[in-house]
Structure 1
Amino acid sequence: MTLSLVEVFGYCASALIAYSLTRSSILKLRWFNLFGSSSFCIYGIIIGAFPVALLNGFIAMTNVFFLRRILLHVEDNFAVLSVRRPSNYVDFFLDYHQKEINELFPRFLRRSHDQHREYFFLTEGTDVVGVVSGYRTADEGFIIDFDFVVPAYRDFRLGRFVIGEGREMVNKFHFAYLGAKADSVEHERYLQTLGFVPGPRGIWALPSDSDAANKGA
């Protein structure tokens, strides 16, 4: 059986929609679903299946709506909250994600109860989607050595908003600067993606903060 180009196009559109549903990242799910539904809308028009075209056109517009909100209104979706330990919820979150935390931050759990350590919840709406932790420095900076988010939010938007170019932690908690310590190769790649550069004593910092971070380490 030989498939026509229109049929191949339809199968490809279907495959994109199916593939989108396997993405753990909400952003990737929306993008792939947008491409798939848009393509399937065109396919429906070509073959004259207008109910198919209308449904997928609606799905495509829905994806555009949510992508616009995700990409252009980050500050309306995400927040950073300081939390104190002992905290039942911090303990629950760390225990629930313990296996993955040990893979990404192999040294963290052994020192997670240090009395000088501070914790911050990363939230979307009222849902906790991540935890940041680290130490204050003598010159009012803050060094992060733990930055964990659940898989659906690992598209760097939250990281850029909180510790990257959005500087939400600096602005909200009035730190003089932020530095970071990488606990794994994956963490180093993450910091590089956010624009951090390595410096002396293993402290990573944004270029604008690098001198202060290295001085305060």
Structure 2
Amino acid sequence: MVWLEIVGWVGSLLVIVSLTQARVLRFRVLNLVGAVIATAYNAIVGIWPFAVMNGVIAVIDVYWLVRLHRERHDADVYAVLEVPADDAVLRHLLTSHASDIARFHPSFAVADPAPSAAFVVVRGDELVGAVVVRAAGDGVGRVDLDYVTPRYRDFTPGEFVYRDSGVFAAHGFRRLVVDGRGPAEAHAYLERVGFRSTTDGWQREVAAAA
């Protein structure tokens, strides 16, 4: 049947497309859908070795999707490291992803004056993001960069930086501000990490250090 052949090709195509994805979550979702379709197709036509193989792949994808969603807000999985402005690891991250950063933060420049506070977010031994804040005067810290590497773009590791307001208070900040421009997805993220929309952009109060 032609429709069955089409379904089989769709499953194969999705598996192939999934392997081109840099984002770990998108890869798992596409791979899962393709594997499920391929499992059904091969079972219907009686090619059991491939049906079993794709069924096992689907189970593995489900396992990783559950684990990734369970860990996405887990502070035991992600760690935040405050680093000096001239930190070599931070500079490496910024220069290695300069073109990608320019897409989402066109006004950010590595050569700008040294930040007042800089943080890198790690998952195990993997760098997944960075937050750079510069003093704007009168206790205000301007978030110049809140960046996530493509692999973890579907997650929000920056939230771990904002969880501990004490790190900002220690630098004398009473308030953080962010440029209000950007897609609705970025606005939803800002709301999740405690910012509120105002006429002067997005702002977040910083609790005094304990």
Is TM more than 0.5 here? yes
The reply to whether residue 152 of structure 1 matches residue 148 of structure 2 is: no
Secondary structure of the corresponding residue to residue 118 of structure 2:
strand
CA root-mean-square deviation: 3.0
1:184, CA displacement in angstroms? 5.2
Alignment of 1:43-192 (within 5 A): 43-74=41-72, 75=74, 76-109=76-109, 112-114=112-114, 117-135=116-134, 143-159=142-158, 161-162=159-160, 168-170=163-165, 173=167, 179-182=176-179, 185=182, 189-192=185-188
- TM-score, structure 2 as length reference: 0.78
Q: Give the letter aligned to residue 42 of structure 1.
A: A
Residue 86 of structure 1 aligns to a residue whose secondary structure is: coil
Indicate if the aligned counterparts of 1:144 and 1:178 stay in contact, CA closer than 8 A: no
**Cα distance per residue 1:1-20 (max 9 Å; x no partner):** xx522211111111111121
Name the structure where helix makes up a greater proportion of residues.
Answer: 1
Structure 1 gaps, min length 5: none
- Is contact 2:132-2:146 (8 Å) kept? yes
**SS state at 1:157 partner:** coil
Partners of 1:145 and 1:180 within 8 A in 2: no
Q: How many residues align?
A: 198
TM-score (norm 1): 0.76
Counting aligned pairs with the same residue, the percent is 27
Task: Choose between structure 1 and 2: higher strand proportion.
Answer: 2
**2:186 aligned partner, one-letter code:** Y
Deviation per CA, 1:105-133: give whole Å up to 9, x if none: 2332166433x521110111111121101
Are the aligned partners of 2:140 and 2:177 in contact in 1 as well (CA < 8 Å)?
no
- Structure 2 gap segments, 5+ residues each: none
